[in-house]
């Protein structure tokens, strides 16, 4: 027999778990369907930490969403009684005319976000674990930091369940189709009807939305942890997260959480993945070399060879901005996709926007710039 819901969320990862929590809080009869276990490491929302910041260099239009995201993360912390956010600060270093430093300054000026601009001498004294290029500028955002990614996802799942949502894990959606009253989904276990559908399938979104031919590109992203000596990278010693832009690359990382290792990765690059279910999870010398070179140059107390690794995926749109919108032909289908390697911090607020779109058909949140109809996505 086909089961019926108000809304089905396809994929209970970063965004799906958040959307489900917002739906359930409003009393919507919601079902989340997830192909793996709820705490799996097969997608894009694992690996201990995610940077959160407000002085958004990718585009200032993200900033109002970030203000709401911070509030929602703090509310979720209180409701879940879990530590999700650590506002240890973020240090950005890069060319004064690059993307990160001027972009963060622009967003900070436009929205009155607190940033500090130490001279290179001041930065060298304040951050002894780092070496800075003489031609680079340094900027610090004190109210930035990181999210504990697994705990954040779990908190959304637990909130959804506590407010009455149903989640079916280890069940794969094979197809969805519009019906007279909404949508019908077929999975490897059964059929489900709902008034609306939210597609938050991460790296698998392109396949599930094949009718739209959205130009999504999935890339393979190694996550690397490196041994550290001394306490200058320690979160308990006041060390910040970091983002270094170089001429051809960008690297980022977090303070050491265990006093023994530090997570440092490359943001740029990544091999294109044809099938996310067949991701190559082995680590190769070519994965290690760019980060090892960066560490040799910029982080003298860190071992260039990684102590451990995990594998993740970015799902890029052509302009690296997200897609949060309704399906142009089937408005009962809502899409959250293409989070382009910088989405996690927004799951709290865009989960709310996805729920608004599914339930009310509109949202007050300023997401117009993330529409499916924007020029960069039109072929
Ligand atoms: C290495 C790395 C570092 C990052 N760093 C940052 C950062 O510092 N700050 C930041 O804000 N963001 C960061 N990001 C980006 C952020 O993590 C992602 O944008 C976000 O996690 C994407 O969430 P998602 O819900 O789209 O995907 P996922 O969390 O992968 O969720 C998609 C879910 O859909 C499920 N699914 C797919 N197909 C089906 C199906 N047919 N049936 C049922 N279930 C299905 C999948 O199993 C999965 O659980 C990083 C990403 C990576 C990989």
pLDDT value at position 378? 85
Does the annotation mark 49 as catalytic? Answer: yes
From 25, 220, 221, 267, active-site residue:
267
pLDDT value at position 247? 87
Q: What's the 132 CA to ligand 1 centre distance in angstroms?
A: 32
The CA distance from 27 to 24, in Å, is 5
Q: Angle at which helices 100-111 and 63-80 pack, to 10 degrees?
A: 80
pLDDT along the chain (379 residues), means of 10: 92 98 98 97 98 97 98 98 98 97 97 98 97 98 98 98 98 97 97 98 97 95 95 96 95 98 98 97 97 98 98 98 98 98 98 98 98 91
Check if 345 has its Cβ closer than 6 Å to any atom of ligand 1: yes
pLDDT value at position 364? 98
Q: What's the 119 CA to ligand 1 centre distance in angstroms?
A: 37
Does the annotation mark 312 as catalytic? Answer: yes
pLDDT value at position 230? 83
Which atom in ligand 1 lies closest to the alpha carbon of residue 223? 1
Indicate the CATH number of 3-46+150-212+319-377 among 2.60.40.3080, 3.50.50.60, 3.80.30.20, 3.40.50.800. Answer: 3.50.50.60
Does the annotation mark 68 as catalytic? Answer: no
Check if 204 has its Cβ closer than 6 Å to any atom of ligand 1: yes
pLDDT value at position 134? 97
Residue range(s) of every CATH 3.50.50.60 domain in the chain: 3-46+150-212+319-377
In 10 A of CB 230, how many CB atoms?
Answer: 14
From 22, 25, 35, 50, active-site residue:
50
Indicate the CATH number of 90-142+217-316 among 3.20.20.70, 2.40.50.140, 3.30.70.100, 3.30.9.10. Answer: 3.30.9.10
Q: What's the 37 CA to ligand 1 centre distance in angstroms?
A: 14
Does the annotation mark 88 as catalytic? Answer: no
Check if 69 has its Cβ closer than 6 Å to any atom of ligand 1: no
Is this model's pTM higher than 0.95 or not? yes
Residue range(s) of every CATH 3.30.9.10 domain in the chain: 90-142+217-316
Check if 322 has its Cβ closer than 6 Å to any atom of ligand 1: no
């Amino acid at each position: 027999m086909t089961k019926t819901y108000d809304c089905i969320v396809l994929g209970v990862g970063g965004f799906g778990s958040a959307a489900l929590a917002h739906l359930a809080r409003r009393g919507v009869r919601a079902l989340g369907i997830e192909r793996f276990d709820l705490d799996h490491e097969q997608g894009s929302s694992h690996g201990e930490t995610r940077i959160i910041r407000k002085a958004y260099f990718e585009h200032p239009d993200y900033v109002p969403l970030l203000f709401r995201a911070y509030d929602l993360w703090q509310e979720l912390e209180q409701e879940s009684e879990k530590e999700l956010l650590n506002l240890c600060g973020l240090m950005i270093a890069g060319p004064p005319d690059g993307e990160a430093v001027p972009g963060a300054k622009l967003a900070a000026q436009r929205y009155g976000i607190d940033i500090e601009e130490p001279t290179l001498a001041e930065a060298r004294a304040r951050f002894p674990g780092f070496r800075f290029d003489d031609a680079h500028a340094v900027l610090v955002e004190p109210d930035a930091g990181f999210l504990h990614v697994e705990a954040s996802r779990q908190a959304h799942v637990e909130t959804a369940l506590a407010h009455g949502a149903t989640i079916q894990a280890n069940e794969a959606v094979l197809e969805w189709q519009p019906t007279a009253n909404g949508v019908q989904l077929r999975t490897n276990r059964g059929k489900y009807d709902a008034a609306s559908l939210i597609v938050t399938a991460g790296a698998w979104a392109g396949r599930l939305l094949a009718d739209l031919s959205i130009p999504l590109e999935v890339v393979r992203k190694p996550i690397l942890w490196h041994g550290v000596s001394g306490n200058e990278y320690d979160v308990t010693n006041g060390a910040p997260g970091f983002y270094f832009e170089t001429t051809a690359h960008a690297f980022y990382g977090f303070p050491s959480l265990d006093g023994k290792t530090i997570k440092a990765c490359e943001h740029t690059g990544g091999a294109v993945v044809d099938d996310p279910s067949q991701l190559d999870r082995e680590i190769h010398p070519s994965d290690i070399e760019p980060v090892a070179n960066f560490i040799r140059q910029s982080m003298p107390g860190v071992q260039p060879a990684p102590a451990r690794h995990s594998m993740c995926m970015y799902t890029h749109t052509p302009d690296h901005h997200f897609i949060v919108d309704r399906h142009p032909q089937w408005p009962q289908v809502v899409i959250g996709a293409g989070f382009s390697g910088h989405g996690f911090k927004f799951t709290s607020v865009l989960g709310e926007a996805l729920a608004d779109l599914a339930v009310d058909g509109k949202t007050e949140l300023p997401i117009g710039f993330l529409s499916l109809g924007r020029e960069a996505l039109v072929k």
